[in-house]
């Protein structure tokens, strides 16, 4: 899922400025699962903003909404009837959701209420970890299902480097060496021959370096 975490409240209050009537919009997708931008967080953030403003003697009206997803136009349209009666939208969806909301509601500013961090997994309740950098050219079949781009701090294609020590990475003793875990996994799988294959230079044109990416599926297009 796309992972995010709430911005500091003072940063959000500063974005809102002196506005008197806003929408706080959540998303029932990824950010609900990672407890950053679902209905509960909409309620908590709205309440916090109201408390802060009430305390300053400058009350604010907040409409609390949680859309099914903010990355799909049909759900964003659900705010069409009333959104522009408000002075701003604070979106606590991921960066894609915030941007799409801003694209669809052009007359009012849309502010990000969370920081979008990474694509990751839930390790345990309240703990998440990055797993994918969306490079656009998956090579997990060569590396025992462990991504060297994400899990190796240097994104090496042929590791480990000299900074690997006792299975840990030189940048932080709490971070596992990505290539150590690739080696261990390949050994478990009885596929160490894959470890000996030199992985050629990666074609990064599928990654971020070529600007914003787009997928077109002719079979699905209307």
132 touching other proteins, by CB under 8 A:
no
43 touching other proteins, by CB under 8 A:
yes
- The smaller minimum CB distance to other proteins, of residues 13 and 108, is found at 13
In the set 40, 80, 187, 208, which binds other proteins (CB under 8 A)?
40
CA 148, 152, 158, 159 dihedral sign is negative
CA 94, 100, 105, 106 dihedral sign is positive
The nearest distance, CB 85 to other proteins, in angstroms, is 23
CA separation for the pair 106, 110 (Å, rounded): 9
In the set 15, 52, 102, 156, which binds other proteins (CB under 8 A)?
52
The nearest distance, CB 8 to other proteins, in angstroms, is 7
- The smaller minimum CB distance to other proteins, of residues 10 and 172, is found at 10
Residue 165 DSSP class: B
54 touching other proteins, by CB under 8 A:
yes
9 touching other proteins, by CB under 8 A:
yes
CA separation for the pair 95, 116 (Å, rounded): 6
CA separation for the pair 50, 61 (Å, rounded): 8
The nearest distance, CB 49 to other proteins, in angstroms, is 9
Count of residues of this chain found to bind other proteins when the rule CB under 8 A is applied: 14
48 touching other proteins, by CB under 8 A:
yes
CB 25 within 8 A of CB 32: no
CA separation for the pair 79, 101 (Å, rounded): 10
Regarding beta strands 114-124 and 127-132, do their DSSP bridges make them parallel or antiparallel, or are they unpaired? antiparallel
Residue 30 DSSP class: H
- The smaller minimum CB distance to other proteins, of residues 115 and 207, is found at 115
- The smaller minimum CB distance to other proteins, of residues 90 and 149, is found at 90
Biggest CA pair distance of the chain: 69
Which segment (47-55, 93-101, 133-141, 176-184) binds other proteins by CB under 8 A? 47-55
Which segment (45-53, 82-90, 159-167, 198-206) binds other proteins by CB under 8 A? 45-53
Three-state SS at 121: strand
Interacting residues toward other proteins by CB under 8 A: 8-10, 13, 40, 43-44, 47-48, 50-52, 54-55
């Amino acid at each position: 899922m796309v992972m995010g975490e709430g911005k500091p409240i003072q940063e959000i209050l500063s974005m809102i400025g002196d506005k008197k009537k806003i929408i706080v919009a959540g998303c029932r997708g990824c950010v609900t699962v990672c407890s950053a931008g679902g209905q509960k967080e909409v309620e908590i953030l709205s309440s916090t903003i109201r408390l802060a403003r009430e305390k300053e003697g400058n009350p604010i009206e907040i409409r609390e909404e949680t859309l099914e997803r903010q990355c799909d136009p049909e759900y964003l349209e659900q705010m069409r009837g009333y959104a522009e009666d408000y002075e701003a939208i604070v979106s606590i969806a991921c960066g894609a959701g915030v941007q799409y909301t801003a694209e669809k509601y052009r007359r009012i500013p849309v502010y990000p209420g969370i920081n979008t961090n990474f694509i990751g997994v839930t390790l345990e309740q309240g703990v998440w970890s990055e797993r994918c950098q969306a490079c656009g050219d998956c090579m997990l079949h060569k590396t025992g299902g462990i991504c060297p781009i994400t899990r190796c701090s240097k994104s090496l294609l042929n590791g480990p480097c000299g900074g690997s020590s006792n299975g840990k990475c030189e940048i932080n003793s709490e971070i596992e060496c990505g290539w150590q875990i690739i080696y261990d996994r390949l050994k478990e799988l009885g596929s160490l021959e894959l470890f000996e294959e030199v992985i050629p230079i990666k074609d990064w044109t599928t990654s971020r370096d070529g600007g914003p990416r787009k997928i077109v599926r002719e079979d699905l297009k209307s």
